[in-house]
Amino acid sequence: MKTILLFGSLGWPEIIIILFVVVLLFGGKKIPELMRGVGKGVKEFKKGMKEVEGEVNEIKAEIEKEEPKETK
């Protein structure tokens, strides 16, 4: 049985074709704007992940404080 990989089999020729199609669709002047938007989106996503991670760590610390410690 053969497994189909979506991006596992992309080589340089495929990437060049994809970039060529993107340039044709959006034009050379729109690409920097698109990349800037993607960069801002990634930055916001990372910021949100850090905030969630901080909240999870706070809750975890609170739970550890509330749990009675067992002595043997």
Question: Would you write out the chain's pLDDT as a tens digit for each of its 72 residues?
Answer: 455 555 567 788 888 898 888 888 888 888 888 889 999 999 999 999 999 999 999 999 999 888 776 655
Residue 44 included in any domain: yes
Residue 35 included in any domain: yes
Predicted TM-score (pTM) of this structure = 0.53
Q: What is the pLDDT of residue 69?
A: 63
Count of beta carbons in the 10 Å neighbourhood of residue 22: 13
User: Which range marks the domain in which residue 57 is found?
Assistant: 29-63
The C-alpha atoms of residue 30 and residue 43 are separated, in whole angstroms, by 20
Residue 10 included in any domain: no
How many domains does the structure of the chain reveal? 1
Residue 45 included in any domain: yes
Q: What is the pLDDT of residue 49?
A: 95
Name the residue with tokens 């969630």: 52
